[in-house]
Amino acid sequence: MAAYNHLCKGNIKSGQKVLIIGASGSVGTYAVQLARYFGAQVTGVCSTANLDLVKSLGAGKMIDYTKEDFTKSNEQYDLIFDAARKRISGVTKSKCKDVLAPNGTFVHVEMDRKDRVQDLDYLGELVKAGELRVVIDREFTLEQIVEAHRYVESGRKKGNVVVVVR
């Protein structure tokens, strides 16, 4: 829902160049797939270990932020979506000014959004149709909930974690 709503807020359109920061996280893995589904040319920013994952989700290009500073590249993007926690990615609109196209839009996952039931139904249909993959990193039992939270708070998860209640 967060990925979908922020891409809509950014007025995503087919053919646009879209940059997804935090492309390997929960919101990011959905954002890459949805942006691709909407016909955008997607570039995903992630760490070395997650380049293949982000490619498998449909990104045409990947930027390894441990090796390259995307804010200094020669590319310009119509839409930049920071899908990672601000305190983790350290990204701001002003830092992206040189890679944002003149009429480009910057959206951040921590901006306000409005969740709607019909959007959830729409996304559910995309999952059922195989257009949207749910990336699951690790499963935890309810007894491991503290460990699960610690892992999520590490900011290093790939996609999502699941807590299984037996």
Ligand X SMILES: NC(=O)c1ccc[n+]([C@@H]2O[C@H](COP(=O)([O-])OP(=O)(O)OC[C@H]3O[C@@H](n4cnc5c(N)ncnc54)[C@H](OP(=O)(O)O)[C@@H]3O)[C@@H](O)[C@H]2O)c1
Q: Kindly list the residues in this chain that would bind ligand X in the complex (CB under 6 A).
A: 2, 21-22, 24-28, 45-47, 50, 65, 83-85, 88-89, 109-110, 155-158
Q: Minimum Å distance from CB 39 to ligand X? A: 23
Answer whether 161's CB lies under 8 Å from 151's CB. yes
Q: Give 110 or 119: the residue with its C-beta nearer to ligand X.
A: 110
Q: Give 69 or 143: the residue with its C-beta nearer to ligand X.
A: 69
Q: Give 16 or 26: the residue with its C-beta nearer to ligand X.
A: 26
- Report the sign of the C-alpha dihedral through residues 51, 159, 82, 128, in that order: positive
Answer whether 67's CB lies under 8 Å from 44's CB. no
Q: Give 13 or 111: the residue with its C-beta nearer to ligand X.
A: 111
Q: How far is residue 28's CA from residue 24's CA, in Å, rounded to a whole number?
A: 5
Q: Minimum Å distance from CB 164 to ligand X? A: 17
Q: Which residue is nearest to ligand X (CB)?
A: 25
Q: Minimum Å distance from CB 99 to ligand X? A: 14
Tokens of 24: 């390997």
How many of the other CB atoms lie within 10 Å of CB of 101?
Answer: 14
Helix (H, G, I), strand (E, B) or coil at 161: strand
Q: Minimum Å distance from CB 18 to ligand X? A: 15
